[in-house]
Amino acid sequence: MDVQGILSEMTVEEKAALVSGTDFMHTNPVPRLGIPSLCVSDGPHGLRKQIGGGDNGTSSSEPGTSFPTAATTACSWDPELLKKMGEAIARECRYYGVHTLLGPGVNLKRNPLCGRNFEYFSEDPLLAGVLGAAEVDGVQSQGVGVSVKHFALNNSENYRFMGDSIASEKTARFYMKPFEYIVKHSHPATLMCAYNRINGTFCSENRRLLTEILREAWGFDGVVMSDWGAVRDRVAGLKAGLDLEMPGDTLICRKWILDAVKDGSLPMEDLNLSCRRILNWIDRFVKPEDPSFADWDAHHALASEIAAGSAVLLKNDGTLPLRETDRLHLAGELFETMRYQGAGSSMIRPTRVTTVKDAFDARGIAGVSAEESDVILVFAGLTDLYESEGCDRENMRLPESHLKLIDEMCETGKKVVVVLFGGSAVEVPFHDKVNAILYMGLPGQNGGLATAELLFGEKNPSGKLAETWPLKYEDVPSHETFGKGIQEIYAEGTEIGYRYYEKHGIPVRYRFGHGLSYTSFAQTEWTKNGNSYTKTVTNTGDRSGAEVAMLFLDGELKGFRKISLAPGETGTVTVEVEDAPEPEYPDTYEVPELPPTLPVTLESRFTDLKQTFLGRILFHAVTSVARKQTREAEKKPEGPERDNSVKSAVFMQRILESNSARSLSMCAGNRMPYNFAEGFVELTNGHVFKGIGCFLKKIKVPKLPKDEK
């Protein structure tokens, strides 16, 4: 593609269309000039290729392999596994004609209650950066782009559409480290900017974030796209470095662009710069679909391999691995209905699912009643209603019914093994009562096979926790304020996770990097030679296994290597440490006054509409869409399709409640044009005639290039 030549022939109307998406998951084509539409699709731990043109929720998607989520794969501490996963997902993208995967998500885990923690890697920026970069390398090696998200300081869900992350420059740079690492080491095709503000300025129009830091300081030369509905002021966004508005189809944004070019408030060079980046992106990644690329059986097997390599043995007194002669009592709802993925935009329609029950049935293993057993296996964890994109968890506890079941099984006097599923840290009050705890995370569609192989010792657990598990939520530094208001104040600075607990001597349930094995290892001390650090690791047990050597300097993780060793084998690991001194950034911030909740504005949380009589009517009218979707989903026959439909409906309800009128309009396109959002606000505030006037307004723009005859 002759990018410069095409750009010189484009009209301003075509340029305004090119910097906007259309039909939710595609960029606008320009048929006159042969510019094709580029297809993006949700990731990050599998492909969610939606059927049709609009947003069809999570249940109306093409089948794809549901791999373990980032909260799980991070515990592998194995970049090679992440690269293999990225390659496989990209091959499925090529199969379906998807050109860019929306992922990975590399935001740091500031607080264990973040509802989207299952989709993020770690509390440590180096670990998140290295593993994120490995996934990016895998995806892009197959000719598919990525969109690393959500840039930046997007660490909570309750107020993500309008929240203000208030942090010092030093703290903000700490949270940006995974993005910086990936940009400099893996050169991602695109980055996705977050919904939230940073110190009062929305990420989508934050020039310091998108141009001065990302492009000028780090050297990023790809496309910056918005999260879906994250645009507020489209012209300010273009000036700041936001190239692509998604999902687009917002008449108002095209009008703003065209008007600003006409009156000179938007320099043509700013619009051209974004168009040039988008054209280069299209030229590099738009390829026809290729059905030869996907090997579904191989990917299903890979999902199990990754799950097994990521599982963490939290406790074991020798009860695991199980013996063939052990009589087993099988308890807990997650034995049959294993939770294998999160809820929200990353929810995948799996090609198949192998639950733990499926894996046990394939081995001919049937449970006995508890009194006759040698070992009780309890399958427990966080269910779909406890953690999801769109809202933060209310507490760190497991469901009460799961805790009660574990206690009841412990009272039998039998050996008890707990197999835990879930995408984030939980309180473990039963730690001292049970004999073993195996944490599977959210292990993907073939997690049942991996669970069985680990329990019976066919594979050896080698995962290490990528986040600290506190004893109780009250020990978390941000526990008093997290997720409770529009202002998210990062008062603890960079002291999150292990940095905080170790500095202040606070005991934890399981430390960052914790993980046991069925064998044992001995490690020497690190020896330094320039920027290289070396140590030897020996498998001193009687089983093959893998160990992670971690290098901490001044209390921070500076490098790591995973090594697999046979019994009695010794290996050498070397870690290279980047020796560039870190700049000193200011460590102060200002907290502005909270905005009033009335009158309601375009930026108010949608639940704020309920403060007035007319607002309540409007709120219930909009959210009735999700309630209807829930009713329809619940009528479906039992099975994975029904479960995914119900989860999709619940997710929709949460998203609608937490949106603002502005972000809802920017995401809904022609279904809720901007003047309707303005009308909602006016009616809520009791301005009936002004509201009606807004609804009657017409936003006039030229036809899209694809609609021109």
**For the CA atoms of 631, 636, 637, 643, what is the dihedral angle to 10 degrees?**
-80
Q: Residues 549, 575: contact at Cβ < 8 Å?
A: yes
How many CB atoms are located within 10 Å of the residue 638 CB? 8
User: In the structure, what pLDDT confidence band is assigned to residue 108 with cuts at 50, 70 and 90?
Assistant: very high
More confident residue, 249 or 360: 360
Tell me the average pLDDT of the chain: 96
User: In the structure, what pLDDT confidence band is assigned to residue 662 with cuts at 50, 70 and 90?
Assistant: very high
Q: What is the pLDDT of residues 355-370, one digit of tens each?
A: 999 999 999 999 998 9
The pLDDT score that the predictor gives to residue 630 is 87
Q: Is the peptide bond before 152 cis (omega within 30 degrees of 0)?
A: yes
Rounded CA-CA distance 244/234 in Å is 10
What CA–CA distances, in Å, run from 666 to 228, 552, 677? 8, 45, 9
Q: Is the pTM for the entire model greater than 0.85?
A: yes
User: In the structure, what pLDDT confidence band is assigned to residue 649 with cuts at 50, 70 and 90?
Assistant: confident
Block residue for tokens 């009528």: 635
Long-range contacts of 613-617 (CB under 8 A, 24+ apart): 614/683, 614/684, 614/686, 614/688, 615/683, 615/684
Residue 46 CB partners (closer than 8 Å, separation 6+): 64, 65, 66, 67, 89, 92, 341, 346, 348, 350, 444
- As assigned by CATH, the class of the 297-502 domain is alpha beta
Mean pLDDT, range 281-300, rounded to an integer: 96
The pLDDT score that the predictor gives to residue 633 is 87
pLDDT of residue 56 exceeding 80: no
> DSSP code of 210?
I
Q: Residues 336, 357: contact at Cβ < 8 Å?
A: yes
> DSSP code of 46?
S
Half-sphere exposure at residue 519, Cβ-oriented, CA atoms within 13 angstroms: 24
Task: Return the axis-axis angle of helices 447-455 and 296-310, rounded to nearest 10°.
Answer: 50
DSSP characters over 411-459: TTTSEEEEEEE-SS----TTTTTSSEEEEEES--TTHHHHHHHHHTTSS
Q: What is the pLDDT of residues 138-171, one digit of tens each?
A: 999 999 999 999 999 999 999 999 999 999 999 9
The pLDDT score that the predictor gives to residue 224 is 99
Residues with active-site annotation:
227
What backbone phi and psi angles, to 5 degrees, belong to 316? -165, 125
Q: What is the pLDDT of residues 434-474, one digit of tens each?
A: 999 999 999 999 999 999 999 999 999 999 999 999 999 99
pLDDT of residue 58 exceeding 60: no
User: Which part of the chain has CATH 3.40.50.1700?
Assistant: 297-502
**Bridge partners for 521 per DSSP:** 539
Radius of gyration of the chain (CA): 26
The pLDDT score that the predictor gives to residue 55 is 66
The pLDDT score that the predictor gives to residue 385 is 81
The pLDDT score that the predictor gives to residue 53 is 67
The pLDDT score that the predictor gives to residue 398 is 98
pLDDT of residue 597 exceeding 70: yes
The pLDDT score that the predictor gives to residue 626 is 87
Which of 347, 544, 307 lies closest to 446, judged by CA?
307
pLDDT of residue 409 exceeding 80: yes
Mean pLDDT, range 395-419, rounded to an integer: 98
